């Protein structure tokens, strides 16, 4: 796959508008495995955050990416467990600033 299809370029720059495309490319079976269990979701997200940190993404860039992912999940995926339902309700209830703070908290949660 060429570099223009990736969210993160070789030089470390991030193209946030490609997040939805990247999420759409996840196979349905793989997506189900990730989202079916909250611990699996946290593990998957944690691994992706570790990779992003290794290439030098800042906490702010991670939070912006987490926001894009949360927007995508809220728009296109049904919650599969009580934790995801709670996150969706919090996401829907929050304004832009609150969602951004929640994204920071999600990043922080999976880093530990």
In SS3 terms, 31-48 reads as: HHHHHHCHHHHHHHHHHH
Nearest to 22 by CA among 8, 10, 36: 8
The alpha-carbon radius of gyration of the chain (Å, integer) is 14
Residue 66 vs residue 2, higher pLDDT: 66
pLDDT digits (tens, 9 = 90+) for 43-97: 999 998 998 899 888 999 999 989 988 998 999 999 999 999 999 999 999 999 9
Q: Is there a contact between 38 and 84 (Cβ–Cβ < 8 Å)?
A: yes
User: 22 falls in which pLDDT band (50, 70, 90)?
Assistant: confident
At 81 the pLDDT is: 94
At 13 the pLDDT is: 58
- Give the bridge partners for 8, in sequence order: 14
pTM above 0.85, yes or no: no
């Amino acid at each position: 796959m060429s570099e223009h299809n990736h969210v993160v370029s070789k030089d470390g720059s991030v193209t946030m508008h490609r997040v939805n495309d990247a999420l759409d490319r996840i196979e349905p079976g793989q997506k189900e495995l990730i989202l079916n269990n909250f611990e699996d979701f946290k593990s998957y997200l944690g691994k992706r955050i570790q990779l992003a940190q290794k290439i030098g993404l800042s906490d702010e860039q991670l939070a912006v990416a987490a926001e894009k992912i949360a927007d995508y999940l809220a728009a296109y995926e049904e919650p599969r467990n009580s934790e995801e339902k709670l996150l969706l309700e919090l996401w829907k209830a929050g304004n832009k600033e609150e969602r951004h703070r929640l994204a920071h908290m999600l990043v922080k949660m999976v880093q530990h």
